[in-house]
Amino acid sequence: MNEVDDEARFLAAYDLGAYPRPSVAVDIALLTVADGALHAALVQRAGHPQRGRWALPGGFVRPGESPEDAVGRVLRVKTGLTDVYTAQLATFGDPDRDPRGWVVAIAYYALVPVDRLRAGLTTADDIVLARVLVPDGTPLAASAVAVAESGEIPLAFDHAAILGRAALRVRGRLWYAPIAFELMPDEFTLRDLQLTYEALLGRETDKNSFRRRILASGLVAPVGRRRAGMRARPAELYRFDRRPADA
Amino acid sequence: MNEVDDEARFLAAYDLGAYPRPSVAVDIALLTVADGALHAALVQRAGHPQRGRWALPGGFVRPGESPEDAVGRVLRVKTGLTDVYTAQLATFGDPDRDPRGWVVAIAYYALVPVDRLRAGLTTADDIVLARVLVPDGTPLAASAVAVAESGEIPLAFDHAAILGRAALRVRGRLWYAPIAFELMPDEFTLRDLQLTYEALLGRETDKNSFRRRILASGLVAPVGRRRAGMRARPAELYRFDRRPADA
DNA sequence: AAAATAGTGTCTATGAGACACTATAGT
DNA sequence: ACTATAGTGTCTCATAGACACTATTTT
């Protein structure tokens, strides 16, 4: 009997189910920049547990589905969005993190321009855009605070920690990966882009320095038009140039 | 009836088990630097599936256990090591990644000085230290290649991809987090440290530049002794200074 | 003395912050 | 003409690579 048949027979008889298994969910820090500040989409929990509290959009991963698939499904169902930039953040598996029982959450962050996000949110009213305050002087494992007009919003489960980690991750990757462009409309001015960077970084940056870096990166290409109608000199419009900067 | 009682009653009756759940495992890229090169600990699979192939040490997460707990347990059982630096890498949840069925793997990387690792491996002989080749010019999702004296070692499941990601993660964090010290003995020379950096980076660095950076970082403190017995001028010994560089 | 390794001096290139300056639109 | 915003010139400072040099030990 050869090894391949042997393995095939083994697999047919194999039963993973002998051991207890956790539920696996995805939770998504769906981020955008609005009014010059970082915001996250939050859904109000309709049922128990933690009814009435606000949570990151999420859901259980279904059989035959990859976690990335689940993220796409959750975003589509809860916000109507497709083709959103998403990246894995971290996995939270503390056995006590969810009062319903053993739930391992794979956390993702997603970035989408405000306008697209707002368009999706008009349909559902159990979902809001809340401003995210990242406590500064943040080392690691810093919890974010979500704020709406009504004041601070209490988050469910460990979602404040996830949100904080997501904000810090985005901040840390900002200069190394072209993720800020995921938050921009198709055409934007360098000033717009700088405001997005500043919102994500939580601090101001020098104008000239910023322009040099962006233009030198080659990630941006002028469209050849300018944005008029403002009350001063019109700014050149740019678009994100996805080309991998070929040699 | 108040909200708290309501929620308590709900939780008592709640059954997560209505939905199918995956098994959740941890896989550990246990890394060290030996002979001036990155190495990983690999265990030979005793049973099916993929019997005879080499895999990262790993195991299923048990009920009541956090993934970090599971990592600690696996390291203790398979290598005898405790107090090892570990950090989460990423979670791999593709439904087809394991032929046994639906297994979500939370991948970690762990760093340990060679001497400690070798001491642990002497007890078990189904575990080896294999050199890790990270294909250069690596963008992302680069698979590593494990090499032993006998030549290239075929890895089980998606472990080559995990190992590649781990190597790149360590490389990327090297200058931003004091992780290289996790690979050093208690006392070391700056030359030793530089060789470790070079092994992880996969390239040489300038001696003077390296010394300036390390000494300026304040992460290192001279012990006040030197290492003699070499065939030239003895080098000053340093130790890792974990103090958070107080103001 | 020669070899080998530890450790330093110093030049240059690069890149980012600071900030004053010029340019061009609307009113 | 005035104001507001876009865009540039240029100085300084910090950091890292290059590389030659000095220092100290073993043989």
Closest CA to B128 of B112, B110, B146: B146
pLDDT higher than threshold 90 for residue B242: no
CATH classification (class only), A17-173: alpha beta
Confidence band, pLDDT 50/70/90 cuts, at residue B6: low
Q: Do B49 and A91 touch (CB under 8 A)?
A: no
Predicted local confidence at residue B126, as pLDDT: 83
What is A180-240's CATH number, 1.25.40.10, 1.10.10.10, 1.10.1240.10, 3.90.1150.10? 1.10.10.10
Contact list in A for residue B6 (CB cut-off 8 A) is 48
b/e code A199-224 from CB counts within 10 Å (16+ = b):
bbeeeeeeeeebeeebeeeebbeeee
Closest CA to A189 of A136, A227, A151: A227
Residues of B with CB under 8 A from a CB of A: 3, 6-7, 10-11, 14, 16, 19-24, 47-52, 60-68, 88, 90-91, 93-95, 99-104, 106
pLDDT higher than threshold 70 for residue B138: no
Predicted local confidence at residue A157, as pLDDT: 93
Question: What's the pLDDT tens digit per position in A55-68?
Answer: 999 999 999 999 99
Confidence band, pLDDT 50/70/90 cuts, at residue B47: confident
How far is B11 from A114, CA to CA, in rounded Å?
37
How far is A3 from A197, CA to CA, in rounded Å?
56
Predicted local confidence at residue B247, as pLDDT: 38
Predicted local confidence at residue A135, as pLDDT: 76
Predicted local confidence at residue A228, as pLDDT: 84
Instruction: Considering chain B, tell me which residue range(s) the CATH 3.90.79.10 domain(s) occupy.
Output: 20-173
Residue that is written with structure tokens 């993973």 in the block: A16
A2 or A172: which leads in pLDDT = A172
Question: What's the pLDDT tens digit per position in A74-109?
Answer: 999 999 999 999 999 999 999 999 998 999 999 999
CATH homologous superfamily of domain B20-173? Nucleoside Triphosphate Pyrophosphohydrolase (3.90.79.10)
Predicted local confidence at residue A244, as pLDDT: 57
- Closest chain B residue by Cα to residue A244: B139
Predicted local confidence at residue A9, as pLDDT: 57
Tell the burial category of B18 from Cβ atoms under 10 Å away from its Cβ (0-12, 13-18, 19+): exposed
pLDDT higher than threshold 90 for residue B5: no
Contact list in B for residue A60 (CB cut-off 8 A) is 19
A47 or B17: which leads in pLDDT = A47
Instruction: Considering chain A, tell me which residue range(s) the CATH 1.10.10.10 domain(s) occupy.
Output: 180-240
Instruction: Considering chain A, tell me which residue range(s) the CATH 3.90.79.10 domain(s) occupy.
Output: 17-173
Predicted local confidence at residue B230, as pLDDT: 83
Instruction: Considering chain B, tell me which residue range(s) the CATH 1.10.10.10 domain(s) occupy.
Output: 184-240
Tell the burial category of A240 from Cβ atoms under 10 Å away from its Cβ (0-12, 13-18, 19+): middle
Angle between the N-to-C axes of helices B190-201 and B159-173, in degrees from 0 to 180, rounded to the nearest 10: 130
Q: Which CA-bearing residue is nearest the C1' of C26?
A: A231
Find the CB nearest B91 among A7, A21, A91: A91
Instruction: Compute the average pLDDT of residues B114-125.
Output: 83
B154 or B68: which leads in pLDDT = B68
Question: What's the pLDDT tens digit per position in B214-233?
Answer: 999 999 999 999 998 888 99
pLDDT higher than threshold 50 for residue A245: no
**Mean confidence (pLDDT) of chain B:** 89
Where are the alpha helices (H) located in A114-189, listed in sequence order? Answer: 114-121, 159-173
Q: How far is the CA of B132 from the C1' of C9 (A)?
A: 38
Closest CA to B183 of B5, B27, B32: B32
b/e code A163-181 from CB counts within 10 Å (16+ = b):
bbbbbbbbbeeeeeebbbb
Alpha carbons within 13 angstroms on the beta-carbon side of residue A78 total 23
Contact list in B for residue A62 (CB cut-off 8 A) is 19-20
A245 or A14: which leads in pLDDT = A14
Tokens of B176: 């931003």
**Mean confidence (pLDDT) of chain A:** 89
Tokens of B38: 């990155």
Instruction: Compute the average pLDDT of residues B41-56.
Output: 89
For residue B132, the cross-strand partners are B146
pLDDT higher than threshold 90 for residue A145: no
Question: What's the pLDDT tens digit per position in A8-27?
Answer: 655 555 556 568 899 999 99
Cα B138 versus chain centre, distance:
19
Q: Do A51 and B3 touch (CB under 8 A)?
A: yes
For residue B240, the cross-strand partners are B220
pLDDT higher than threshold 70 for residue B13: no
Nucleotide nearest to B175 (CA to C1'): D16
Q: How far is the CA of A39 from the C1' of D20 (A)?
A: 55
> CB contacts < 8 Å between A and B, how many?
111
Instruction: Compute the average pLDDT of residues A154-171.
Output: 94
Q: Do A24 and B104 touch (CB under 8 A)?
A: yes
Instruction: Compute the average pLDDT of residues A176-192.
Output: 97
B122 or A230: which leads in pLDDT = A230
Q: How far is the CA of B216 from the C1' of C10 (A)?
A: 18
Nearest chain A CA: its distance from B1 CA (Å): 15
Q: How far is the CA of A230 from the C1' of D5 (A)?
A: 9
Question: What's the pLDDT tens digit per position in B70-117?
Answer: 999 999 999 999 999 999 999 999 999 999 899 999 999 999 999 999
Predicted local confidence at residue B244, as pLDDT: 57
Q: Which CA-bearing residue is nearest the C1' of D27?
A: B231
Instruction: Compute the average pLDDT of residues B24-48.
Output: 94
Tokens of A230: 């403002």
Predicted local confidence at residue A184, as pLDDT: 98
Question: What's the pLDDT tens digit per position in B187-217?
Answer: 999 999 999 999 999 999 999 999 999 999 9
What is B184-240's CATH number, 3.90.1300.10, 1.20.1280.290, 1.10.10.10, 3.30.70.260? 1.10.10.10
Closest CA to B138 of B156, B157, B160: B160
Find the CB nearest A19 among B47, B60, B99: B60
